Structure 1
Amino acid sequence: MIEASTTQIWIIIVGMAIGTFLIRFSFLGLVGDRPLPAWLLRLLRYTPVAVLPAVVAPMLLGAKADMDPLRLFCAAATILVGVWTKNVLWAIITGLGLFFGLGAVIA
């Protein structure tokens, strides 16, 4: 394993902080006071729908995924609630609630 000095670690942290700031500033500082085009606003509506599967899929299908019945059941319930309510927030709340609630009862 490669060991890094304290100085190297702080250089990495500061570099990542500057990079993150610049990425966020490009949207908020440079474009924040201007109206966005209609086509971009239409595309941005799909961001939560695209992010949820991207976050959940590695936990279910990744190389180190644990395919236990609890995770599969909670994922199925999340999908069903998302399709039924058409609301990403309710789907996330349902999935997390079932996962932690049933996980506490089962364990």
Structure 2
Amino acid sequence: MDPPPTGTTQTGTRTRPGVEVSDFDRPRLPRHVRLAFCRTRRRRILLHPETVVVLNGSGGAVIELCDGRHTVTEIVTELGARYQAVSEDEVRQFLTQLVSRRWLELTDG
């Protein structure tokens, strides 16, 4: 029997591919991923073992709010307050991609 498409670790976080991002999930960086600022590139970067991901301005703003306290809905609302046009679908797709790559994990809200 195949495992279900979503996985839950012992801490109640989900990181497997196929995980859907819900309104009440609280995304956060896993222990092996770090958000930093690269002075050379003058951009935020994600540091993952053996990988550096250079983020654009909006990607950095989204991940900055992924602290395990904000829900997805709160993240979209905060970004809407900062910027005039925020696509909720684009934010969800971005978070889903990061979860599928195991660069973000979701805590049930």
> Same fold judged by TM-score > 0.5?
no
The structure, 1 or 2, with the larger RCO (C-alpha pairs under 8 Å, 6+ apart) is 2
Give me the TM-score of the superposition, normalised by structure 2: 0.27
Normalised to the residue count of structure 1, the TM-score between the two structures is: 0.27
